[in-house]
Every structure is written in structure tokens, then in C-alpha cells.
Structure 1
Amino acid sequence: MTARVLILGGRGRIGSSIAQDIATHTQANITITSRNVAAATAVSQRIGSQVDILILDLADTEAINQAIASADLVIHSAGPFHYRDASVLKSCIEQGVNYLDVSDHPSFTRKVLAYKSAAEEAGITAIVNTGIFPGISNSMVREGVEQFDQAERIHLSYLVSGSGGAGVTVMRTTFLGLQKPFDAWINGKWQEVKPYSDRETIEFPDPYRRSHVYWFNMPEAFTLPEAFPTVKTVMTKFGSKPDFYNHLTWIAAHWFPKPLMQQHNAIEFLAHVSHAMTDVTNRFSGIGVVIRSEVNGIKQGKQASYCSTLMHENTAIAAGCGTGSLAQFLLERKLKKPGVWTVEQALSTDLFHQALKQRHLKLHQQWL
């Protein structure tokens, strides 16, 4: 029988990129959900006959449960995940359906990981944080850690040009991530850091070159130390191109009154204004992404550093590759791991390299 994939939030730019990737690499029947008939229809027509639409509101629990019951795999891409609970995963567990999501906020990740035992007992594979960062970035780290006898330090740097080709939801996520300090694993202990602090200059490949990144609250900040217990420091930093977006974000993080940044209306205003600005600057900045993963540790008794970088001209499409490849492996039964896992725990490096090759993505690796 042909596999059935349900993508919640599938008409958005990331959700539709996931649908496109799955349609390209599998024969699955794909259903995308939306509250907007015209937008969902446009996505379906663009991708082709493999895609159907389902008009659905995530607040309608009964309709969600019915949709999940008819699927073999559910992909949750309806962010921002700051506002979501684990109800979709709970329904998948109850109905024996595999689950992926593109979540990118630690609070949601913790909610979902709490269902690990329940998912294992139900025999379903659930993988969180499966997009580009987190997602592909986690697999880059795993590949780096495997080069060492003992990995000790991980430094992840993400740089996005303009809007990254994503919608206003990604802008919401950025500003929601500035609301409060977070804990980072530094020198073997948890330390509080401020979002968008500690500006650092990173040498990325052309065309990004010397660019700036800042501390940002990501799930990797706590999932990587758990996955790789010898590691004493995990740094997760993010930046934008052109650089003046970094300055504007820094101002929002450090100058705006904290009560203001806690208000839904303020976040909505900032997100829409920012998206309107990037619609203009995308024309010369592009919408690409570059990820740099540097792992330090002990190899053959000596200190060493291993660096890998990956670039894509469209951030949203890259996220689709990350989630789509995991969907492909689940549907092909190349990946089966009952429980709830992060990407670095679930995906082997061999499968990761297979996914990159199939999608013509190039990983640049070097010893420093």
C-alpha cells in the first residue's frame, strides 16, 4: 500500500518545502493541512498529484485525531512551537503513528521528550527538531564527534541571509527567543547567558566570509550535552545577513523593555515589520543559510579540531531536506527507533551522508 503522510501546517514555506522533498524522493500520498484554502491549493498544484489538502484548525482536537488516524507518518510543522504542546505526539502514540516535527524551541522539545517511554511502548518512532537548525546541524555535530576518541567542545554557528525564504512564523520565533536568558553548558556546568550577547566573528565560506553571530536559545544547547556526555561546552550562536539586522535584533534583545517583549501584540508587530523589511533586502542579500560545526577534542592522544560547513541558497528548502530525508528513511524502513529522539540520537552518520548525496548537498570538512 502507498504510504500516507500528514503534514500539519503544510502550506507554509517550510511545510511546503517538506512536502516537495517527500514528493521528490518517495511515492507517498501527502496531505497538507491549512486554514487557508487558496494558499493550500496553490501548494498542491505546484507540487503535483501526490499532494491533497485538508482544511484544518489545530484547535479542533477531534478533527486532528481523525486526520492522524488515517496517516502512516505525521509531520508537525505548524509553529511557532513556543505556543504548542505535545498533544499531536500524544495522539500519534495513541494511534500508533510515527511522528516528526520541525520544532526549534527548548520548552517544546522538553515537552515532547517527556513521552519517550510512552512512544517506545507504542512502538512508534518520534524524532524532534528535524529541520535545518536544529536538524541537519545536529547530524553535522554527530559526524564531528565521531571523529574523536573524546569530544570536549561543540561550537555551532548559524547564519541566515534575509528572511531565509521562510514566512513570518520564523520572524516570530526569532523575537520569541529574545524574551529571557537561558542556560548553556559551559566548562562542565550550566551557566545563564543572555540572548543575542557575546558577538563573535566567524569565518564562513564565500559568499558569507567574515560574519557575526550571537548566543541564541536553541534546543541543541541541552540535547547535545545529553547525547554526548564527554562534551564540556556547547555553544549555539546565530546571526543574520546583512549585518544591520543583527544590530536591530540586538537592540530588541537589550534595549526594549522586557514587559514589552513578553506581549503577543509586540511580537506580532516586530515579526511583520521584520518580514516586510526582508522582502525588500532579499533581492540583494539572498535567502540562503550556512551552518558551521566545530568540534574540539582528543584524537590519538592529541588535541584536535574538526570543522564542517554546509550551505544552501534557500533556508526553507534546506529545512525541507532535513525533515524530508528523515521521512523518507522512516517510510523506507531504513530508520526505526521506538521512542522519542533528537536527530543526533536517531540518525546514523551513514544515513545522513546518504541523504546529503541524494539531495546534492555538499558537506565541506577540514581539520583545523
Structure 2
Amino acid sequence: MKYPILVLGGYGNFGGKISEKLAKHSGIRVIVAGRDKQKAEDFARIMSHETGSTIDAVKLDISESNLCKNIADTGEKLVIHSCGPFQGQSYSVAEACIESGINYIDLADGRSFVNGFEKLNIKAKQNNVLAVTGASSVPGLSSSVVDEFLSAFRELKEIEYGIAPGNQADRGEATVKAILSYTGRPFKRWQGGSWDDVYGWQEVHKQTFPCPIGKRWLANCDIPDLELFHSRYPGLRTIKFYAGLEIGALHIGLWLLSWSARFRLVSNLSRYSRIITKMSCWVQTLGTDIGGMYIQMSGTDVNGNPKVLRWDLVAEDGDGPKIPTIPSIILAKKLAEGTLEEKGAKACVGLFSLAEFTDEVEDLNIWQKLTSVP
């Protein structure tokens, strides 16, 4: 019998990619869920034809009061929650899954959402389920990279990393809204051995990525890792994360907008996410479909000498937007195959290796590079 997985937001920007990839697995049955039953059915019909698998569709609204019953009635063994943004969301979906004895995975990148998730741990263990938050580029992939190369250091003192998507990449309003929620607003970052206030989408600078990307603009972003890594990797004195837009005018334009929030002229830029998303689509034909991610780790090697390693990932042919979906796909397959037996509620750290990520993207135009920085 196939392992049944329900994908919330299963016809959306990220959910659609997850549904399609999992439907190709011979041991998995995918059910697409969302607020619009017609959209869910249309997507399921198209994907069934393209993948040769039977994909079902149901209507399910995460804001409904009878959510727990509706999820339980589906009879699934796993729910993947891709309905962002997660900033400001409650744990209602995760709680409904745990209460119903159903495994749960989400793609959250909201700092407070991910870092507060552990409060569900006791209940999840009591109900013998695994509930995972942050199964995305951060902290899912980022932690697997750091874990992979951690043994090269006697002491890891600093992690600096960033993501730079191509301008032609698919974009959803939820992603834009998540970024705008902290643009120009202060958040805590561990640097120099203490917590300091920095501001979203400020500290604008350029970072050089491997060819064919070259230099890209980057700026401050708030993510769960800034707290998770502080406790996960003892000895760290600095953790910095940045993101950027390929088109310089767009990146600088958002930087200028960040000052309106910093000076409290606008309380929260996320309320303008819809119009900003539409405006960004007007110039989507500019730039490229090539994105990149880098993680630079600094400290001392096993002999006590200074050591700096840099890991780069480059995604071409528009494959970059698939990267945030890969951690949830890896975990879903491991659950379906019975190779992930952990129970409880936790952030997506230590649940899959960089080798497993590499195997999962072997059919995509994604490559990695590791260099030792002088």
C-alpha cells in the first residue's frame, strides 16, 4: 500500500513542486489540498497526466475551526504544510496533525515560528508522531552543510552565508510578504559574542559567487538559524545571513523602502506585499534564471591554525526555486520508506545529510563547490 501524503497548498509555488516530485515516487500517494477545490482538482488532473500517477485533490482551509477533524478525516500519514508566510501563523496545523496522530512537516522560515516549535515536542512524542518545522533552505539545508564540514574545525567561530535567487525565478506573494515583514525592522543577531540589533534589508553590500553568477547585491535577513545555530554550535561568536535581488535597481529600491520602516513612517511593509509582488513581475524578464547560495565557515583547524571553508551552490535553468522544497521531499521519502523513526517536534536540523540532498537534486542543474579560503 502506498504511503499517503497530503500537501497543504499543494498547487502553490512550493507545494506544487513538492506534489509533483513526490508523485513520481512509486511508494507514495499524493493528495493536493487547498482553499480552492477547483484549483486543486485542476492541478491534480494535470500532474496525474504528467507523472503517470493518480493524484487526488481535496478542499482544506487551515483557518477553519474544524481543522483537526478535517485533517483526521483525510486518513493521511503525513501532512506537508507549504502555506506561507509563516511569520505570525499559529501552530494550529501542526497541533491538529499531532492530535490526529499524523506526521507533520512545514517549510517555515519565520524565526519565532521555528524557534518556538519545540513546545509541541512532549505532545508529539506522546502521540508517537514526528513534527518538523523549517524543512527548507534554512535551517534544513544550511544546517546539513555546516554539519558536513564541522569536523574540519577544532573551533567554529563564525558562519556567514547568503542566498541570491535569479530575477527570472518563480516568486510567490508569501515569500515576498515574509521578507517585507522584517524589512527595515530590528532583529537580534549574534555577533562578536553578544546579541546586537541589526535592521532587515540593510548593510547592503556585494558578494561574489562562482561563474556564471558573479557579483550580487545582498542585505540583512532574519531567519531561524540566527538563534538555532547559536545553541547548536557552541563556540560560535558570529552568525550572519544575507539575501539579495539580482536586479540592482530592485535591491536598492527595497533598501530605500527599508528606511521608511526603520524611521516608523510605515509600521509594516508586508501589508504592501501584493502590489510589490505584482510590480516585481513587471521586470521578471530581466536578469537570469540562475541563483546561488554560499556558506562561509571560519575558525581554527584541528591543529589550532586559522581555517576558512566556503561552500557554494549554483542553480541554473530555473531550478533555484526547487531548492527550498528539497528538505521536505527528502524527509517525506524517508518517512514513507521507514528510514526516519525519530519522534517529537523539532526544527529541521540533523535530519538529513548533505549527501542525501545531493542525491535528491542529481536530476536538476544544481552543482556545488567547496573551497579553502586563503
Q: Name the aligned partner's letter for residue 74 of structure 1.
A: V
CA contact (8 A) 2:138 2:224 kept: no
Alignment partners' CA distance in 1, 2:146 and 2:262: 36
With 350-359 and 140-149 compared, the bigger mean Cα shift is at 350-359
CA contact (8 A) 1:161 1:282 kept: no
CA contact (8 A) 2:184 2:202 kept: no
Q: Secondary structure at the match of 1:202?
A: strand
Q: 2:133 aligns with which of 109, 128, 137?
A: 128
Instruction: Tell me the TM-score normalized by structure 2.
Output: 0.90
Alignment partners' CA distance in 2, 1:43 and 1:89: 25
1:329 aligns with 2:325: no
Q: Secondary structure at the match of 1:249?
A: helix
1:66 aligns with 2:70: yes
1:84 maps to: 89
Q: Name the aligned partner's letter for residue 243 of structure 2.
A: F
Distance 1:22 1:357, change over 3 A: same
CA contact (8 A) 1:144 1:294 kept: no
How much does 1:52 deviate? 1.4
Alignment partners' CA distance in 1, 2:168 and 2:100: 37
Structure 2: runs of 5 or more not aligned: none
1:308 aligns with 2:311: yes
1:55 aligns with 2:41: no
CA contact (8 A) 1:296 1:305 kept: yes
Q: Name the aligned partner's letter for residue 321 of structure 1.
A: I
Alignment partners' CA distance in 2, 1:131 and 1:11: 18
Q: Which structure has more RCO (C-alpha within 8 Å, separation ≥ 6)?
A: 1
CA-based RMSD: 2.2
How much does 1:275 deviate? 2.0
Alignment partners' CA distance in 1, 2:144 and 2:116: 22
With 75-84 and 88-97 compared, the bigger mean Cα shift is at 88-97
C-alpha distance after superposition, 1:226-263 (max 9, x if no partner)? 22122221111111111111111111211347656435
Alignment partners' CA distance in 2, 1:349 and 1:256: 38
Distance 1:284 1:179, change over 3 A: closer
CA contact (8 A) 2:27 2:336 kept: no
1:267 maps to: 270
CA contact (8 A) 2:67 2:96 kept: no
Structure 1: runs of 5 or more not aligned: none
With 254-263 and 152-161 compared, the bigger mean Cα shift is at 254-263
Q: 2:158 aligns with which of 153, 177, 197?
A: 153
Q: Secondary structure at the match of 1:285?
A: coil
Alignment partners' CA distance in 1, 2:264 and 2:10: 33
Alignment partners' CA distance in 1, 2:352 and 2:234: 18
Total equivalences in the alignment: 365
CA contact (8 A) 1:82 1:108 kept: yes
Q: 1:291 aligns with which of 293, 297, 319?
A: 293
Q: 2:247 aligns with which of 242, 247, 255?
A: 242
Instruction: Tell me the TM-score normalized by structure 1.
Output: 0.91
CA contact (8 A) 1:321 1:359 kept: no
